[in-house]
Chain A
Amino acid sequence: MHPASVQAQDLAGVWYIFGGAALFVAAFVYGLILYSIVRWRERATDTGIPPQFTRNPSIEITGVVIPLIIVIGLFYITYVREGVVDFLKPNPYVTVNVTAYRWSWQFRYAGHPVVVNGNVHSPPTLVLPLGKMTQFNLYSDDVVHAFWIPSFLFKRDANPGIANHFDVTPTQTGLFHGLCAEYCGLDHALMTFNVEVVPVGDFDRWMASGGQANP
């Protein structure tokens, strides 16, 4: 996991905590199951019947309380981090209006005459400034799509008739892969785009050229 934005680093933190808890619980339960199989499998020398106990209230209550404590902890982490990531911060450096349509994307940079269009054969490129916050307004022209950049550990649905908003602050330059995650019909698999994160100076020059120059 290589989180490539400020928000992705927050999200990755949740991944690490949940991953650790998952491994711990899995190891504990697998241990109990394997121990039971090895220790108490029937042997040829066994006679009579095993003890017929059916319950043990203190152990049963423990089996409710411990998972409850674990999920309360996980819920607290979820709630706090989700609030941080979903909070729409003011004063973005640039605002990009993204429109999803079958089966490509349009990126319009608000307040600038920069518009990037693509199609299934030549996916569009989304250019973002390094270390600056970009706000996204997400729209769809036809069916439900989803805007996903795996390196940012984040996606959001593009719903016809309902705009969605979120922000991203990239922390690494380079080329990243973006795609539609919500199944949208025939060429859904080809509805991809590129993300190019460049230093602010390069980004400003690219914007000034109307999106024509090489960023």
Chain B
Amino acid sequence: MTHWLTSTNHKSIGILYMMTTLLFFGIAGILSLVIRLQLARPDQNIVGPHAYNQIFTLHGTAMIFLVIAPFAFGLGNYLVPLQIGAPDMAYPRLNLFGVYLFMISGFTIFAGVFAQGGAAASGWTAYAPLSTIQAGTGAGQDLWCIGIMLNAIATITVAINFAATILLYRAPGMTMWRMPIFTWEILATALLILMAFPSLSVAMAELLLSRHYGAHFFDPQYGGNVVLYQHLFWFFGHPEVYVMILPYFGVISEVVAVFSQKPLYGYVGMVLSAFAIAGLSMGVWAHHMFTTGVVANGFFSGMSFLIAIPTGVKYWNWIGTMWRGRLRLTTPMLFAIGFLSNFLIGGITGVMVASPPIDYHVEDSYFLIAHFHYTLGGGALFAVFAAVYFWMPKMFGIKLNELLGKINFWLFFIGFNVTFIPWFFMGIEGMPRRVFTYPAMGDLPWLNAVSSVGAGIMTLGVIAFLLNVAFSKLESKVREPLANDPWGGGFSLEWATSCPPPEFNFHALPPIRSERPVWDMMHPELAELRS
């Protein structure tokens, strides 16, 4: 235990990140079950409005700031040095500082539960002036603001570390254009963080100053402007969406290529599209504000549409990778295909809500939150599972059971779609987000009931996962230790060292002549042809 908390080794820090995010994922998941229980039928009062408002605030905050983004930081911490043939991250002590700060940020936010008046209850977006007026928001809101600020600083430290490590610590022969695609996506993510997160810290500082020191940034009575907060928040918030998805694009690219037994199709296009997405995402923030009536809707709509093009390139290349391949439908590959299926719905509905005439109807409705649950839940979360199944053998020397893995996948995949497909129709019918109850109107009652059943099926999927971990851990004790490349056919350097790797990762490195050195080593005759 002390080892995990004090080691500056990138692998133990990576695991500390991921374990912490799994803890918060458990909490956020239980909160979402309370939400689905409350909404299973109209006019219920299982939890009242005050509790409900805290619950959805904490659910959103935890999933965004404490689960989906930081899991990618943990995974990146573990994999990036291995993939580029480095012994550790560039700044190991900054790295440990960052993970501490991240953990403290999570505990600070949740400490609000014990504050008078309860935890923060103004949504994960904390729009001013709702979040600055004192009535109904006490110390819980302050703890939330402080926690988010610490989280932003932690995130910036990890981004600096990624950028420095990737740019300066690559092994001899590992040129930029030979880096694995996951490492490229992490580099794009790191640059995006450095551009976007300072704005979040500023927004939090201004909230705190408004709440306690009479600053009037957002108070129209004193010349402030309520929309200013939305600009500051979404200038961070939209890039954050891509911080939460670019690393997982990397995961999916690795998994699809390895299990298609073919090199990633359109590698250069994949890299360029990651940076195109990162760049464009800095110029679309006000598409969250189409209904405010005070932003240039046309500009932000057009910029948002453009993101469909690099994202389309990625889909094109994933399909190109599978095309004429030899697909091994292992559990990580199933989760990757689940990602392709779900994220497609998230992406297409994303183009719809990028059009103001459509957004005027569905902004802040269940249609909108269905859209982003398809990108972050159906997308990022499926990629988290793909990553866990794919790299667990490397990290712990434990290969998860394939049968339980497939049960896990199908329960989670079916449950996910049963939960979230109804939301699109609920939104079109007029159900707004963030309501603790709804009238028995039109199709809302049965759509909500179906959605709650889906949440139950998803829960069974998670239980299958936990059983799988427990079972596979026991099984690993009576099994032969795993080979360096337990899946067979791995591409990048993490598969050239033991499971788990030694303290400084490698005793010897294979020659690096392409973006898949381990594959070249196993197929010398083909590697010759290429070079």
Chain A interface (Cβ < 8 Å from any Cβ of B):
1, 10-11, 14-15, 18-19, 22, 25-26, 29-30, 32-33, 36-37, 40-42, 46, 49-56, 59-60, 63-64, 67-68, 70-71, 74-75, 77-79, 81-82, 85-86, 142-144, 146, 148, 150-151, 153-157, 159-162, 164-165, 177, 179-189, 192
Contacts and interface: CB of A to CB of B under 8 A. Distances in A.
B301 A181 contact: no
Given A75-B305, A183-B130, A82 B356 contact: yes
A14 B357 contact: yes
B231 interface: no
Contact of B341 (A25, A33, A164): A33
> Which of B358, B363, B364: most chain A CB closer than 10 A?
B358
B306 A150 contact: no
Contact of A71 (B265, B309, B435, B437): B309
A144 B327 contact: no
Contacts of A154: 360-361
A33 B361 contact: no
Contacts of A33: 319, 322, 337, 340-341
B433 interface: yes
B293 A162 contact: yes
A54 B325 contact: no
B432 A36 contact: no
Interface residues of B, number: 86
Interface string B335-360: 00100110011001101100111101
Contacts of B352: 18-19, 22
A164 B341 CA distance: 40
Contacts of B313: 60, 63-64
Question: Which 6 residue pairs are nearest across A and B when measured between Cβ atoms?
Answer: A161-B220, A150-B430, A189-B435, A63-B316, A36-B322, A164-B293
A153 B292 contact: no
A198 B324 CA distance: 63
A188 B220 contact: no
B450 to A, nearest CB: 20
17 contacts: A14-B357, A15-B358, A22-B352, A40-B260, A51-B262, A54-B264, A55-B265, A82-B357, A144-B127, A148-B365, A155-B364, A177-B441, A181-B364, A183-B123, A183-B364, A187-B49, A188-B53
A156 to B, nearest CB: 6
Contacts of B292: 157, 159, 162
Contact of A153 (B224, B293, B322, B361): B361
Contacts of A151: 430
Given A53-B324, A144-B226, A188-B49, 14 more contacts: A18-B358, A33-B337, A37-B327, A63-B312, A82-B301, A85-B360, A148-B364, A150-B361, A150-B429, A155-B363, A156-B360, A162-B226, A180-B432, A185-B53
Contacts of B298: 78-79, 82
A40 B435 contact: no
Contacts of B322: 33, 36-37, 40
A84 B264 CA distance: 46
B329 interface: yes
Given A162-B294, A186-B53, A40 B130 contact: no
Contacts of A86: 297
Given A36-B322, A181-B365, A26 B428 contact: no
A18 to B, nearest CB: 5
B330 to A, nearest CB: 10
A179 B348 contact: no
Contact of B327 (A30, A36, A49): A36
A71 B308 contact: yes
Interface of B: 49-50, 53, 121-123, 127, 129-130, 133, 136, 220-221, 224-227, 260-269, 291-294, 297-298, 301-302, 305-306, 308-309, 312-313, 315-317, 319-320, 322-329, 337, 340-341, 344-345, 348-349, 351-352, 355-358, 360-361, 363-365, 428-430, 432-439, 441, 523, 526
A10 B432 CA distance: 22
Nearest to A150: B430
Contacts of A19: 352
Nearest to B319: A32
A146 B49 contact: no
A151 B429 CA distance: 8
A134 to B, nearest CB: 17
A179 B441 CA distance: 13
A135 to B, nearest CB: 14
B210 to A, nearest CB: 13
A162 B526 CA distance: 66
A82 B358 CA distance: 9
B226 A161 contact: yes
Contact of B355 (A78, A143, A183): A78
A189 B291 contact: no
A62 to B, nearest CB: 9
Contacts of B327: 36-37, 40-42
A212 to B, nearest CB: 27
A68 B315 CA distance: 14
Contact of B297 (A11, A82, A142, A143): A82
Contacts of B429: 150
A67 B324 CA distance: 24
A37 B323 CA distance: 9
Nearest to A147: B291
A188 B226 contact: no
Contacts of B265: 53-55
A36 B262 CA distance: 13
A186 B437 CA distance: 12
